[in-house]
């Protein structure tokens, strides 16, 4: 695995959803504003794709966690006296 790929993987592990989304927004705004040169375009598009996958994964796992919590609350109402 190339050194840059290892760095990106480690960097992604330490990202929060908010940080990833903010970085993605920055890339999109730079692309829309023409601030990214042709030499950097491929790198930025690849990074944006990684960030999108990361955010999708975070959203999916969060949704699954919330669904499980709600399911657990429904199946055992004695543990949730309201």
Domain around 38: 3-75
DSSP-derived secondary structure letter, 20: H
Span 26-62, pLDDT tens digits: 999 999 999 889 889 999 999 999 999 999 999 999 9
Query: Would you say residue 12 lies in a domain?
Result: yes
Structural domain count, the chain: 1
- Looking at every residue in the chain, the average pLDDT score rounds to 84
Choice between 13 and 54, residue whose per-residue pLDDT is larger = 54
Percent helix, strand, coil in the chain, to 5, is 85, 0, 15
Query: Would you say residue 28 lies in a domain?
Result: yes
Query: Would you say residue 7 lies in a domain?
Result: yes
Arithmetic mean of pLDDT, 11-20: 86
Q: Which two tokens stand for residue 78?
A: 């004695």
State residue 1's pLDDT score: 42
Q: What percentage of the chain carries pLDDT values higher than 90?
A: 61
State residue 2's pLDDT score: 47
State residue 12's pLDDT score: 73
């Amino acid at each position: 695995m190339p050194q840059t790929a290892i760095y990106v993987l480690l960097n992604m592990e330490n990202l929060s959803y908010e940080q990833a989304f903010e970085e993605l927004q920055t890339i999109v705004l730079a692309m829309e504003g023409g601030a990214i040169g042709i030499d950097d375009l491929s790198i930025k598009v690849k990074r944006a794709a990684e960030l999108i996958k990361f955010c999708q994964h975070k959203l999916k796992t969060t949704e699954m966690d919330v669904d499980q919590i709600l399911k657990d609350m429904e199946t055992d109402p004695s543990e949730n006296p309201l």
